[in-house]
Structure 1
Amino acid sequence: MKRILAFLLTVMMVATLAGCSKSEQADAKGSSIKDGVYEGIGYGKGGEIKIETTIVDDTITDIKVLSNNETPGFNSAMDTLTESIILKNSVDVDGVSGCTLTSKGFLEAVNAALAAAGATPDMLKKIDVSSDASDEKQIEETHDIVIIGAGGAGLTAAIEAKNAGADVIVLEKMPLAGGNTLISGAEYAAANNWLQKKEGIEDSVEQHVQDTLKGGDYKAKEELVRTMAENALAGAEWLRDEVGVVWEEELMFFGGHSVKRSLIPSGASGKEIITKQLAKAKELNIPILLNTKAVSLITDNGGKVIGVEAEGKDANYTFTTNKAVIIASGGFGSNIEMRVKYNPEIDKTILSTNSVGSTGDGIVMAEEIGASLLGMEYIQTYPICDPLTGTLLYYDDARLYGHTIIVNKEGKRFVEELGRRDVMSMAIKAQTGHVCYELLDQKGFEASKLQENHGPELEYLYKNNLLVKADTIKEAADFFGIDAEELQSTVDRYNGYVADGKDPEFNKRSLPSTVEVGPFYICKAAPAVHHTMGGIEINSKAQVLNTEGNVIEGLYAAGEVTGGIQGTNRLGSNALADITVFGRIAGQNAAK
């Protein structure tokens, strides 16, 4: 009887399965996702990321990005993630280094697509992707010049060296080019520029030199400061005429500068610089190896640098050079251990605006062969950053146009809004909650072109309750728990200063407009590490010097990897002048 019952039960199960659809049969087996194309939405740094995922036989076979507003370069992270997801058939993949918010938003969108399919990640078919590390290739190449770093300085050097007839290759350890330049506002300080002349602003190279020396507490090497200031305008014109960078038809007034002299790239973002430099590099057939980390410099018996050892994703490289190596690998703002080594106060409690690739690799490599280091303890914070991630906020452009008031939780001003970055940052750290609140009215909002240039960032700030737009100052203040009555009194006094043309409280050096036309905007912000002034010592020819003050043959450096140019504190918009001037000099001299 038991055997008969078992037989009948088996027949019933077979009959049941025969009447099921294919997907239902698969469900009965324990895992199945209906074949199809599914959409998903996530949120990255630039706002909404919309994707389309194709699933066949429990396998992700394709992912298409339908729309996004991520920064050019950062959006390449989505291509990398797509490859990893399809290779592993899993959403359990590492985010792309340096593209945290883009990676997070993209993976959020893919998971949303899975949910739309009525599936969970564990229902995807398991694939074994283990590989044999012994298969890693060893590649040897020779070039005239090897450049370490594909940020603004490295790309500038590459273009100039190639134009001088050299065979150039660029190594970049990150999965995308651009470095800190890509994520900066990329404003550019240049005395006697064409817009100053148009506006009737009197300026001089000497004034730029003195502003920079004073801003760095006279700790900079004057020889380098003069080289930067004297060649800054030519560098800006070179970016415009040779590289194709478009400059806006207005200037910004950065803290520490005595006059308004800072050019603004189109869109007020470093993506204008990097996008145009990469296009120029492609036009010149300059190879850029991404995901390729330089690990050591090769020297001959006489100490001359003759090459670079590097590690890639699928190979190890030995690059030898006929002429020189140029280090343009950036600073060390994202290397907490290195920061604390030189300045214990800049510890892990302080976030960073920097690319995660800013870990001081080039400085370490140069020091290992005897290079001199300067000013490593001088680490700058930027006053207006995202309190959640440390990212520099472009909302702060409004301050640089002179349109904002900065207050604390008590509704009071406590620092000059156009003061030095280090002074402002330390003042903010001393306030309640170690944060500040930047107030702007509608006419200032429009004049600063915030919606036009930085719409996706505004969307992010609203979504994360870091920015409020309100019809009245009281309503905006109440959103953050700011003393509304005191804030109104502060605004009234400030508007009186604008009418009088003088700020007796903090001597704000530019008072272009009152704050009185609603709606009103308040952004919550905090300081974060922004620039490391210390690094490799160079001379005015961009040659690296050893600890005895002598030139290390075959080695040049440019950009934030160098020290001695900014002193204790960098004035805003001097970095782009620095990387362009010394990037050009390094490329030209290395090619000789």
Structure 2
Amino acid sequence: MFRKTVLNLTLACTLALAVAGCSQKKMTSLKDGTYTASTTGHNGPLEVKVTVALGKIKDIDATKNVETKGIGSLAIEKIKNKVIAKQTLNLDTATGATISSAATLRALKDALKEAGLTKESVDGMPKESINQVLSEKEYQYDVVVIGAGGAGLTAAIQARAKGAKVLVLEKTSQVGGNTLVSGGGINVPGTDLQKKKGITDSVELYKKDTLKGGDNVGNPELVDTLSSKALDAYQWLVKDVKMNFIQDRVQQFGGHSVARAVIPVGNSGYEMMSKLEKLAMDKGVDIFKNTGAKKLMVDDKGVITAVIAENAGKEVRFIAKKAVVLASGGFGSNIAMRKEYNPAYDEKYKTTCISASSGDGINMAKDIGAALVDMKQIQVYPTCNPQTGIISYVANARFDGGILVNQEGKRFVNDMGRRDVISNAILAQPGKYAYLLWGQEVEKNGHMTKMHKNEFENLKKSALLFEANSIEELAEKTKIDVTTLKKTLEAYNGYVKAGSDPEQQRGGKLRTILQGPFYIQKVAPATHHTMGGVKINSKAEVLNKDGKAIQHLFAAGEVAGGVHGTNRLGGNAITDIVVFGRIAGENAAK
């Protein structure tokens, strides 16, 4: 009996060691050296340089890329760290940055083929995840915020400031949402930066512009809240969030009577989102990434009690003892949903929106009886990359004096008009695209080619932007009739000198286009913002179809409708998310 027991134990130990040995897979020994490979990421060329020493990956340099800061760049960094730490290339991709992740892994594998890497050796490596995996089936918080974009983090910080225990659920691998990929400009009347430039503005003028810009379809009560609380929101961003704004720049977007948009350093949403994330973490806000909300739970009294979400393929329940805040964004990336509410915006449109803009929050709210408003109102942005649909920030040269011409070399629209008007005008041109043209008078004011250098260089490599010392050379590169183009510029420069543009009634600052080097960029519209969403009141409470507040449910940002009417003016989205995000967070904590 004793001998049998010992034999069984010996066999068990032997099997255990064998299993352990099989489970502890290691990276195939690689040939020492430095290896380089290139591929195409989400935004353009992506290069990796891998250093192998003593058969192991010691360093990865992937700095040569044009991926979106805070999204693609963050995914690259996560992959780099995981590969070096775990010595494996058997990784999943980052949710919300799939293209950038896949491109990075592809480039790494290509680079290491010369070092002896094979597909079989990759398959035999330990499987690792760069996404967050939760351990519990249920969590309890006072306030649960759905979405870690600008509105979501603003609401979370405000709720935490009022003493609530706060959780933010984010279905992708990174915070930021559409705010992160925006230009970050925020419209505010009465800022210190306006006063420095002697710009006269008022809450009433801002309200008037916003209502008019949306064809007076926007809810006046919500627009009044947006306008009257904009300055407080800006001051909060400066004093509490510690955002830095360009001190000598106040921008006038189309549809505004005066320049009122303050621009963050870097002219992108990264300045806001990086600072909001830091403040939220410092204040004790929990953020669960890779956790997509699926359903709102309601008790028999109609009160929101919890959120059901999915993480790593498993269902997780989040109890919200006080309230839930919807801040999950719009539905610009959801083609089926766009077609459901406005069939005109079908597959032929690319989008500036991140893939997570799929309308989840709107549908969850609709399922529990929330009213929807303005759902057919979908906005396209006029100056995007025709190949990818990504919004072009180099093309912000338009706001500093650049003009739009068509393939025939003729002007066809007020370059500073409303986004919807310009977009529709571009789509009516031959080929459904246009060219943005500017010279050094404009460039020396806005510096767009330098401020957005990576995009500028990528556009040139993609033959979407040309730089030349003469108009003749630009015409040759774009196949535009040189005689027509020169006549167009001669007429326009004459308008600038006269101080008015009788041909297209261009607003904003008029600047000549006489000094080279000159730039010409091909642009096309892409879906950009969905003005419709759940119906809210000025307290950010979500309303049902009877106009009554759904208890313990709030909403802010693009998930909510009624603020912008038929058309959102440039710079109003950021004002919207901060104003109503703060209101939603404060009221949720109560």
Q: TM-score by structure 1 length?
A: 0.89
Give yes or no for contact 1:47–1:456 (8 Å, CA) kept in 2.
no
| Residue 438 (structure 1) aligns with | 436
Structure 2 letter corresponding to 1:373: L
Asked if 1:73 corresponds to 2:70, the answer is yes
Q: How far, CA to CA, are the matches of 1:130 and 1:271 in structure 2?
A: 28
| Residue 35 (structure 1) aligns with | 31
Q: How far, CA to CA, are the matches of 1:97 and 1:578 in structure 2?
A: 26
Distance 1:153 1:242, change over 3 A: same
Does the residue aligned with 1:200 lie in a helix, a strand or coil? coil
Distance 1:489 1:561, change over 3 A: same
Please state how far the C-alpha of 1:557 moved relative to its aligned partner. 0.2
Please state how far the C-alpha of 1:72 moved relative to its aligned partner. 3.5
Please state how far the C-alpha of 1:286 moved relative to its aligned partner. 1.2
Structure 2 letter corresponding to 1:196: Q
| Residue 581 (structure 1) aligns with | 579
Give yes or no for contact 2:188–2:234 (8 Å, CA) kept in 1.
yes
Give yes or no for contact 2:142–2:321 (8 Å, CA) kept in 1.
yes
Deviations 1:107-146 (A, max 9, x none): 4531442244365646646358599xxx996521111100
Please state how far the C-alpha of 1:287 moved relative to its aligned partner. 1.2
Give yes or no for contact 1:327–1:558 (8 Å, CA) kept in 2.
yes
Please state how far the C-alpha of 1:443 moved relative to its aligned partner. 3.2
Asked if 1:543 corresponds to 2:563, the answer is no
Distance 1:352 1:199, change over 3 A: same
Q: How far, CA to CA, are the matches of 2:570 and 2:346 in structure 1?
A: 23
The equivalent position to 1:152 in structure 2, one of 121, 126, 150, is 150
**Equivalences for 1:203-214 in 2 at 5 Å?**
203-214=201-212
Gaps of 5+ in 2: 1-27
Q: How far, CA to CA, are the matches of 2:276 and 2:423 in structure 1?
A: 32
Does the residue aligned with 1:560 lie in a helix, a strand or coil? helix
Does the residue aligned with 2:564 lie in a helix, a strand or coil? coil
Asked if 1:221 corresponds to 2:219, the answer is yes
Asked if 1:491 corresponds to 2:483, the answer is no
Structure 1 letter corresponding to 2:70: G
Distance 1:517 1:48, change over 3 A: farther
Please state how far the C-alpha of 1:40 moved relative to its aligned partner. 2.2
Structure 2 letter corresponding to 1:192: G
Distance 1:583 1:482, change over 3 A: same
Deviations 1:37-60 (A, max 9, x none): 433243543765433254887xx7
Structure 1 window deviating more from structure 2 (39-48 vs 251-260): it is: 39-48
Distance 1:143 1:94, change over 3 A: closer
Q: How far, CA to CA, are the matches of 2:540 and 2:319 in structure 1?
A: 20
| Residue 99 (structure 1) aligns with | 97
Distance 1:339 1:125, change over 3 A: closer
Deviations 1:173-227 (A, max 9, x none): 0111100000000101111222222222221111111111111111111000000
| Residue 413 (structure 1) aligns with | 411
Q: How far, CA to CA, are the matches of 1:330 and 1:181 in structure 2?
A: 10
| Residue 313 (structure 1) aligns with | 312
Please state how far the C-alpha of 1:259 moved relative to its aligned partner. 1.1
Deviations 1:383-422 (A, max 9, x none): 0001111100001221122x20110000001001101000
Does the residue aligned with 1:267 lie in a helix, a strand or coil? coil
| Residue 350 (structure 2) aligns with | 351
The equivalent position to 1:528 in structure 2, one of 526, 529, 538, is 526
Q: How far, CA to CA, are the matches of 2:503 and 2:102 in structure 1?
A: 44
Give yes or no for contact 2:201–2:258 (8 Å, CA) kept in 1.
yes
| Residue 480 (structure 2) aligns with | 482
Deviations 1:547-592 (A, max 9, x none): 1000000000000000000001000000000000000000111111
Q: How far, CA to CA, are the matches of 2:45 and 2:30 in structure 1?
A: 30
Distance 1:516 1:360, change over 3 A: same
Does the residue aligned with 2:408 lie in a helix, a strand or coil? coil
Structure 1 window deviating more from structure 2 (403-412 vs 118-127): it is: 118-127
Give yes or no for contact 2:352–2:391 (8 Å, CA) kept in 1.
yes
Asked if 1:287 corresponds to 2:286, the answer is yes
Give yes or no for contact 1:216–1:566 (8 Å, CA) kept in 2.
yes
Structure 2 letter corresponding to 1:276: K
**Equivalences for 1:132-211 in 2 at 5 Å?**
138-211=136-209
Give yes or no for contact 1:149–1:171 (8 Å, CA) kept in 2.
yes
Give yes or no for contact 2:143–2:325 (8 Å, CA) kept in 1.
yes
Please state how far the C-alpha of 1:497 moved relative to its aligned partner. 0.6
Q: How far, CA to CA, are the matches of 1:136 and 1:292 in structure 2?
A: 9
The equivalent position to 2:560 in structure 1, one of 536, 539, 562, is 562
| Residue 513 (structure 1) aligns with | 511
Distance 1:464 1:92, change over 3 A: farther
Q: How far, CA to CA, are the matches of 1:274 and 1:116 in structure 2?
A: 40
Q: How far, CA to CA, are the matches of 2:102 and 2:497 in structure 1?
A: 47
Distance 1:545 1:478, change over 3 A: same
| Residue 64 (structure 1) aligns with | 60
**Equivalences for 1:203-282 in 2 at 5 Å?**
203-249=201-247, 250-282=249-281
Give yes or no for contact 2:186–2:262 (8 Å, CA) kept in 1.
yes
| Residue 10 (structure 2) aligns with | none
Give yes or no for contact 1:366–1:536 (8 Å, CA) kept in 2.
yes
Q: How far, CA to CA, are the matches of 2:44 and 2:123 in structure 1?
A: 32
Q: How far, CA to CA, are the matches of 1:157 and 1:48 in structure 2?
A: 36
Distance 1:66 1:529, change over 3 A: closer
Give yes or no for contact 1:382–1:527 (8 Å, CA) kept in 2.
yes
Distance 1:124 1:173, change over 3 A: closer
Q: How far, CA to CA, are the matches of 2:341 and 2:180 in structure 1?
A: 26
Aligned-residue RMSD, C-alpha: 2.5
| Residue 375 (structure 2) aligns with | 376
| Residue 28 (structure 1) aligns with | none
Structure 2 letter corresponding to 1:384: T
Q: How far, CA to CA, are the matches of 1:446 and 1:121 in structure 2?
A: 51
Q: How far, CA to CA, are the matches of 2:327 and 2:349 in structure 1?
A: 25
Distance 1:257 1:100, change over 3 A: farther
Q: TM-score by structure 2 length?
A: 0.89
Distance 1:575 1:414, change over 3 A: same
Q: How far, CA to CA, are the matches of 2:431 and 2:311 in structure 1?
A: 43
Q: How far, CA to CA, are the matches of 1:219 and 1:326 in structure 2?
A: 25
Q: How far, CA to CA, are the matches of 2:564 and 2:107 in structure 1?
A: 43
Q: How far, CA to CA, are the matches of 2:442 and 2:201 in structure 1?
A: 26
Deviations 1:269-302 (A, max 9, x none): 0000001111111211211111000110111110
Q: How far, CA to CA, are the matches of 2:403 and 2:91 in structure 1?
A: 43
Structure 2 letter corresponding to 1:517: Q
Gaps of 5+ in 1: 1-31
Q: How far, CA to CA, are the matches of 2:31 and 2:212 in structure 1?
A: 66
Structure 2 letter corresponding to 1:484: V
Q: How far, CA to CA, are the matches of 2:468 and 2:93 in structure 1?
A: 36
Deviations 1:300-324 (A, max 9, x none): 1101001111111264321111210
Distance 1:483 1:85, change over 3 A: farther
| Residue 335 (structure 1) aligns with | 334
Alignment length (residue pairs): 556
Give yes or no for contact 1:49–1:105 (8 Å, CA) kept in 2.
no
| Residue 366 (structure 1) aligns with | 365
Distance 1:107 1:484, change over 3 A: farther
Identity of aligned residues (%): 45
Q: How far, CA to CA, are the matches of 1:214 and 1:200 in structure 2?
A: 24
Q: How far, CA to CA, are the matches of 1:49 and 1:273 in structure 2?
A: 28
